[in-house]
Structure 1
Amino acid sequence: MKGMGNMGNMMKQMQKMQKKMMQAQDELHAMEFEASAGGGMVTVKANGKKEIIDVEIKEEVVDPDDIEMLQDLIIAATNDVLNQIDEKTNATMGQFTKGLNVPGLF
């Protein structure tokens, strides 16, 4: 019967870890990230859920004869902010999966 006590303790630890993971995930989702391109000409803000919440474009970068440059700046800033979210997510959530070898988990 001793093994059952260990199993109970393991289940409690797993529930505790799951609660901490959910809390960390909620905190990540509430965070805001920001990236800019072209020396601040285009700024993109996103939340931790990878939802774009704001795009700021300086008036002087809007050139009807060079739409491609503006598009490139928006893409660069958006990719940068999404990479920041990925890095923060991996750093935060990775602490819960260290040492675990579970396929499909992060």
Structure 2
Amino acid sequence: MKGGNMGNMMKQMQKMQKKMMKAQDELHEMTFEASAGGGMVTVVANGKKEITDVQIKEEVVDPDDVEMLQDLILTATNDVIKQIDDKTNDTMGQFTKGLNMPGGMF
């Protein structure tokens, strides 16, 4: 491989890295929302997987059935995290197509 080709390849890699970093920053700024129990519990998170809000409708709070509330919170939280993972994989996957990257890289 000639030096010029290596230089071009390095420039392309740096350009791709900048695009990846921009895409990742945009993902981190996104807001994701999931609900369970027909909207009785809603969980909001950012692209960094930080939970930013939890809304619980008053009528779902039953002291005699705390387990149901816990299940609704878990369901909504797991769903919002899955949404973030799916969006991250879709967005960042465009940069790793054709590359043999180890699983779970992003």
Normalising by the smaller structure, the TM-score range is: over 0.9
Listed as ranges, the matches of 1:11-50 within 5 Å are 11-50=10-49
Q: Deviations over 1:31-77 (max 9, x none)?
A: 00000000000000000000000000000000000000000000000
Aligned to 2:51: 52
Aligned to 1:67: 66
Q: Deviations over 1:4-34 (max 9, x none)?
A: 0000000000000000000000000000000
- Structure 1 unaligned spans of 5+: none
CA drift at 1:103: 3.2
Tell me the secondary structure at the aligned position of residue 93 of structure 2: helix
Tell me the secondary structure at the aligned position of residue 99 of structure 1: coil
- Structure 2 unaligned spans of 5+: none
Aligned to 2:76: 77
Aligned residue type for 1:54: D
Rounded to whole Å, the distance in 2 between the matches of 1:79 and 1:100 is 29
Aligned residue type for 2:102: P
Rounded to whole Å, the distance in 2 between the matches of 1:23 and 1:68 is 41
Rounded to whole Å, the distance in 2 between the matches of 1:103 and 1:42 is 36
Aligned to 2:4: 5
TM-score by length of 1: 0.96
Output the aligned Cα RMSD. Answer: 1.1
Aligned residue type for 1:73: L
Instruction: Between 27-36 and 96-105, report the one with greater CA deviation.
Output: 96-105
